[in-house]
Amino acid sequence: MYNMMSSKAEEFISDEEIRRCLRYGEENAENRELIGRIFEKAELMKGISHEEAAVLLHSELPDVAERMKDLANRIKRRFYGNRIVMFAPLYLSNYCVNECRYCPYHGSNKHIARKQLSQEEIVREVTALQDMGHKRLALETGEDPERCPIEYVLESIKTIYGIKHQNGAIRRVNVNIAATTVENYRKLKEAGIGTYILFQETYHKETYEYLHPKGPKHNYAYHTEAMDRAMDGGIDDVGLGVLFGLNLYKYDFIGLLMHAEHLEAAKGCGPHTISVPRLRPADDVDPGDYSNAISDEIFTKLVALLRIAVPYTGIIVSTRESQKTREKVLTLGVSQISGASSTSVGGYAEKEEENSAQFEVNDTRTLDEVVSWLIDLGHIPSFCTACYREGRTGDRFMRLLKSGQIANVCQANALMTLTEYLEDYASPETREKGRALVRDEIGRIPNEKVRAKVLEHLEGLHSGLRDFRF
Ligand code: SF4
Ligand code: SF4
């Protein structure tokens, strides 16, 4: 029985409810009256339900697709402006006791080099990331309670926050580790993490169990209820995601929205971010083995619909996607992207000799190239990490975002952190056009007092001071 307030996975992600919505969506795919009403609600920019989203998801009417893109673009501009927050993943360890069929880190894969970074290696990797200009990381590990216990993750976070190379600093560490206990989530919170990210992979229980035949991840309920435990452990900001291509995308899309609705209803705050990864080739994994791959057209539709359904949730697109695809979805609602990513354990400080990558990267450009490209497209690359450091997390953050007031601080912080990047790490060409962009964009800070303060801080940045924030 569907119950969005329930703490049981099979009740807040009810298979019966998803199937009902899929039927409802299919039956109403050309129901113009209903579609019109859904758009009227969506125009309020407060989101739509999973049931309403199912109708738009099924509709193949060309004007509906265009209207969705247009609305997604306007929502994106209203809440996130033209800013794109940058981050990089850092793989700490690829030892894993699970057997996920789509991931080369599965325990029985003997072709791949197994590695775990020592604290000294972490210092080298993070120094290399700082020297590129990164300020925000997403830590990734396989699941191995013996080789990669929570104590190792906590020690690594402490090491990372302690590294200060020249003007560099990692100011926000997000963490993507296996589902764990409330007690361990509390420890992560105390270690000062930003967002806790865990991909569901698929919400379809049978497919989930088939794809995860062994190991702790086999337990669908334990995995699906992880975000509830994370929030019970005090983590305000959580990041959801499914791996598109594993199961029928319509099913998973509805499941994803139901998960977001559940967190908002039961925990008082929806997800901070949603990631939209698609299956990529990797050692021992051929996406051709999965018949549910989604086209670029469907992918862009999903991003636009996500933007409409959950306007207050950041959308993340990684380097799994090509430059071309990333370009398409930037205007449809994406608010964060990774740049210059290594998907191997190690790989930033030195090119790795043995392959330990989790998947093949599609966008292989340097961070400077990505920053330069964003500027050319009229976006502001932002290295901002201010909210979590200013205690603006969970529902406090959501209230600011919903009121539209966040624009003041986001725009100001984006321009100041971009200036730090331009001064410390950019190529001369990127620096020049970036400075012009900053000059143009200052006028778009809505609040006059904030604008004046930013001008003052920019002077400070030019004379060598760092880390101003609102
Ligand atoms: Fe391990 Fe995660 Fe890969 Fe599964 S997806 S095999 S849990 S690293
Ligand atoms: Fe994100 Fe907050 Fe910075 Fe805006 S001010 S970019 S919401 S961290």
Measured CA to CA, the distance from residue 68 to residue 161 in angstroms comes to 41
- Quote the pLDDT of residue 353: 60
> The pTM is what?
0.96
Centroid of ligand 2 to alpha carbon of 137 (angstroms): 15
DSSP 3-state of 83: strand
Centroid of ligand 1 to alpha carbon of 103 (angstroms): 6
Burial 188-220 (b: 16+ CB within 10 A, else e): bbebebbbbbbebbbbbbebbeebbeebebbeb
DSSP 3-state of 361: coil
Pocket test for ligand 1, best of 94, 96, 209 (most atoms within 8 A of CB): 96
- Quote the pLDDT of residue 14: 97
Residue whose pair of structure tokens reads 């080789």 in the numeric block: 147
Residue 296's H or E segment, with its range, is: helix 296-309
Per the CB < 8 A criterion, the answer to whether 279 and 288 are in contact is no
Centroid of ligand 1 to alpha carbon of 24 (angstroms): 35
- Quote the pLDDT of residue 13: 98
Which atom of ligand 1 is nearest to 142's Cα?
A: 8
Ligand that lies nearest to the alpha carbon of residue 401, given by its number in the listed order: 2
Pocket of ligand 1 (CB under 6 A): 96, 98, 100, 103, 105-106, 142-143, 178, 217
Tell me which residue has its CA closest to atom 5 in ligand 2.
Answer: 410
What is the residue-wise DSSP string for 5-62?
Answer: T-SSHHHHT-HHHHHHHHHHHHHTTT-HHHHHHHHHHHTTTS---HHHHHHHHH---H
Which atom of ligand 2 is nearest to 414's Cα?
A: 6
Series of mean pLDDT values for 10-residue runs along the chain (470 residues): 97 98 98 98 98 98 97 95 96 97 94 95 97 98 97 98 97 98 98 97 97 97 98 97 93 98 97 93 70 88 98 94 93 95 90 71 93 97 95 89 86 97 98 98 92 97 96
- The long-range contacts involving 33-40, CB below 8 angstroms and separated by at least 24 positions, are 35/59, 35/61, 35/64, 39/67, 39/71
Distance from CA of residue 78 to its chain's centroid? 19
Closest by alpha carbon to 383, among 124, 158, 137, 73? 137
Which atom of ligand 2 is nearest to 470's Cα?
A: 5
Per the CB < 8 A criterion, the answer to whether 297 and 65 are in contact is no
- CB 407 near ligand 2, within 6 Å: no
Tell me which residue has its CA closest to atom 2 in ligand 2.
Answer: 387
Which atom of ligand 1 is nearest to 97's Cα?
A: 1
Angle at 415 between CA 411 and CA 421, to 5 degrees: 140
Centroid of ligand 2 to alpha carbon of 274 (angstroms): 16
The 3-state secondary structure of 236-271, one letter per residue: CCEEEEECECCCCHHHHHHHHHHHHHHHHHHHCCCC
39 is written with which tokens?
A: 């758009």
Pocket test for ligand 2, best of 273, 312, 387 (most atoms within 8 A of CB): 387
Strand partners, 90: 139
Centroid of ligand 2 to alpha carbon of 385 (angstroms): 6
Distances 199 to 59, 67, 242, 256, 469 between C-alpha atoms, Å: 27, 29, 5, 10, 31
- Quote the pLDDT of residue 287: 63
